[in-house]
């Protein structure tokens, strides 16, 4: 769970140690997980807080990335990378949409960051390529990327877009 990963695995990682860990996550992904120790998967129910198309300045240059808050552990957030091999049509996901990542989605941790001392954000990528359900009625097809932009920017979603901001209703 997001809680156990934050509290048991990554709570003491900061600075250079977190950079080293993230370098290992990326290397393992690029090498198609030849090493299986240190591979973490995350499942749970999430609420979309932001989504956008990937661009050539990102590590993954085609597809969609969405951020979500963890419904069972509010201190945890995710960025879910949904790579594609062709330019995607509009794949924006409405803010507030609920979606689940299950065991069979194999959503692997690719990057970890701490937006604040009390929170954590996991960048995830499904390592089985087919379709992933992002709502009860919508799925997005994903494909392994043909190339990566190793100089791509992190994070994929700004920290300010991780939290679900709901504007109070104005009464007339």
Separation of alpha carbons 9 and 62, rounded Å: 31
DSSP code, position 159: G
Per-residue pLDDT of 6-58, as tens digits, reads: 777 787 788 899 999 999 999 999 998 888 788 899 999 999 999 999 999 99
C-beta separation of 92 from 8 below 8 A? no
Q: For residues 107 and 123, is the Cβ–Cβ distance under 8 A?
A: no
pTM of the complete model: 0.87
- Residues 6+ positions from 141 with CB-CB distance below 8 Å: 84, 130, 131
The ranges assigned to domains in the chain are 2-150
The proportion of the chain whose per-residue pLDDT surpasses 90, expressed as a percent, equals 44
pLDDT band for position 87 (cuts 50, 70, 90) = low
Under a CB-based contact definition with an 8 Å cutoff, are residues 6 and 40 in contact? no
Q: Note the pLDDT of residue 38.
A: 81
The band of 77, judged by pLDDT with boundaries at 50, 70 and 90, is very high
């Amino acid at each position: 769970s997001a809680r156990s990963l934050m509290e048991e695995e990554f709570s003491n990682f900061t600075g250079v140690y977190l950079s080293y860990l993230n370098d290992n996550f990326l290397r393992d992904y690029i090498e198609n997980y030849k090493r299986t120790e240190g591979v973490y998967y995350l499942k749970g129910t999430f609420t979309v807080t932001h989504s956008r198309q990937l661009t050539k300045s990102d590590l993954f240059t085609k597809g969609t990335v969405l951020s979500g808050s963890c419904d069972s552990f509010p201190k945890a957030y995710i960025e879910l990378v949904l790579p594609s091999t062709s330019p995607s049509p509009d794949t924006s996901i409405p803010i507030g949409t609920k979606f689940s990542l299950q065991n069979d989605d194999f959503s692997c941790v690719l990057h970890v960051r701490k937006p604040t001392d009390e929170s954590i954000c996991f960048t995830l990528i499904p390592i089985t390529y087919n379709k992933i359900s992002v709502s009860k009625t919508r799925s997005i097809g994903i494909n392994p990327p043909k190339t990566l932009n190793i100089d791509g920017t992190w994070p994929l979603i700004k920290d300010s877009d991780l939290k679900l901001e709901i504007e109070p209703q104005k009464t007339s």
